[in-house]
């Protein structure tokens, strides 16, 4: 079985390798999936660079990847919601960079027909973040007006759509080149961060601000946009200058969040949710290296997907 793995921490071209691995056995609670597509995520890049080494130990060679989609080829006796032959979405602890994955049944759901292979694979982590942030981290405290910074990215674009489905007023910022995309997703008002100061445009207007950018100056603008006593949620670093009274929350994965719950919720809205795909690349080591290098820079909006023919 072909898989793409890390042999060490370092640059993509130096440490990403192709390996042949033995198939893992499937116990009663797990499912084997022949993968058709998998996504490359910023987290994969950070892990490969060694940014996680202080709190996450990995054994080399280590196969990256949390998000994938494919066809079930084997099902454990205790798993009843999927069967052999089903097209499914997978959220694995690791290991989706390859031809197959064995994952817990609770991390696998049927793929809706409305989702292409590449969108299904690309949707997983961004949707889990979107759903759990809005539904569990914030819940009823979110308020009516929500600001989404980085609204053209995978998480940001899903946040705009999910919040609009809940009847929220959505303010959004992204680069000018992505204005039409974000507006089509349903944003009520838009500010291009490369043409105007969103902090001034939307000053004191949002009950909740969600910073879905890579951090930096967006945090300062977000504090300006948040109403006094509101919520500021960061997917990366919280702003250093918390000059306004409010709830400052850093979002991250939690064992309290159910993948099965969130992915099932995705299947219920799949025909109404859009995700931009930047590139679909062939199933090769060169593609994986290219994808990592692309994410290290300033890529255009959209997910990078590796897909088998």
pLDDT digits (tens, 9 = 90+) for 51-77: 989 888 899 999 999 999 999 999 999
More confident residue, 24 or 309: 24
Return the pLDDT at 247: 97
Rg (CA), the chain: 19
Helix H or strand E encompassing 265: helix 259-269
Return the pLDDT at 241: 85
Return the pLDDT at 90: 98
Q: Is the pLDDT of residue 217 over 80?
A: no
Those residues whose C-beta lies under 8 Å from the C-beta of residue 208, and which sit 6 or more positions away, are 138, 141, 142, 143, 145, 146, 147, 226, 230, 231, 232, 233
Q: Is the pLDDT of residue 218 over 90?
A: no
At residue 255, the 3 state secondary structure works out as: coil
Q: Is the pLDDT of residue 80 over 90?
A: yes
Return the pLDDT at 306: 98
Mean pLDDT computed over every residue of the chain: 96
Return the pLDDT at 214: 80
Return the pLDDT at 210: 98
Determine the Cα–Cα distance for residues 110 and 1; give it in Å rounded to an integer. 24
The mean per-residue pLDDT over the stretch 218-237 comes to 94
Strands, sheet with 62-63, edge to edge from the N-terminal-most edge strand: 16-20, 2-6, 62-63
Return the pLDDT at 300: 73
Q: Is the pLDDT of residue 216 over 90?
A: no
More confident residue, 301 or 148: 148
Determine the Cα–Cα distance for residues 291 and 199; give it in Å rounded to an integer. 33
Q: Is the pLDDT of residue 299 over 80?
A: no
Do 209 and 222 contact (CB within 8 A), yes or no? yes
Among 126-130, 270-274, 296-300, whose mean pLDDT is lowest? 296-300
Q: Is the pLDDT of residue 298 over 80?
A: no
Return the pLDDT at 238: 92
The mean per-residue pLDDT over the stretch 82-90 comes to 98
The mean per-residue pLDDT over the stretch 2-6 comes to 98
Return the pLDDT at 237: 87
């Amino acid at each position: 079985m072909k898989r793409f793995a890390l042999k060490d921490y370092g640059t993509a071209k130096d440490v990403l390798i192709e390996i042949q691995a033995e198939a893992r056995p499937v116990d009663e609670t797990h499912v084997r999936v022949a993968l058709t597509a998998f996504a490359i995520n910023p987290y994969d890049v950070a892990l490969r660079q060694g940014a996680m080494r202080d709190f996450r130990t990995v054994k080399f060679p280590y196969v990256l990847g949390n998000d994938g989609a494919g066809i079930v080829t084997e099902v454990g006796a205790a798993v009843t919601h999927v069967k052999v032959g089903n097209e499914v979405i997978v959220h694995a602890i690791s290991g989706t960079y390859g031809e197959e994955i064995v994952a817990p049944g609770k991390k696998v759901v049927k793929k809706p027909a409305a989702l292409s292979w590449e969108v299904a694979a690309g949707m997983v982590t961004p949707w889990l973040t979107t759903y759990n942030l809005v539904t569990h981290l914030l819940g009823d405290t979110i308020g009516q007006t929500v600001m989404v910074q980085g609204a053209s990215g995978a998480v940001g674009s899903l946040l705009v759509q999910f919040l609009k489905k809940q009847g929220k007023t959505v303010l959004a910022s992204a680069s000018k080149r992505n204005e039409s995309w974000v507006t089509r997703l349903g944003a009520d008002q838009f500010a291009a961060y490369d043409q105007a100061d969103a902090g001034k445009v939307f000053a004191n207007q949002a009950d909740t601000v969600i910073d879905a950018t890579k951090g930096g100056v967006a945090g300062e603008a977000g504090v300006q946009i948040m109403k006094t006593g509101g919520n500021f949620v960061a997917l990366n670093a919280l702003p250093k200058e918390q000059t306004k009274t409010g709830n400052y929350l850093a979002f991250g994965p939690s064992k309290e969040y159910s993948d099965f719950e969130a992915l099932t919720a995705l299947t219920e809205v799949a025909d109404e949710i859009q995700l931009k795909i930047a590139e679909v690349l062939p199933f090769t080591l060169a593609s994986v290296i290219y994808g990592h290098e692309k994410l290290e820079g300033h890529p255009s909006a959209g997910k990078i997907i590796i897909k088998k023919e």
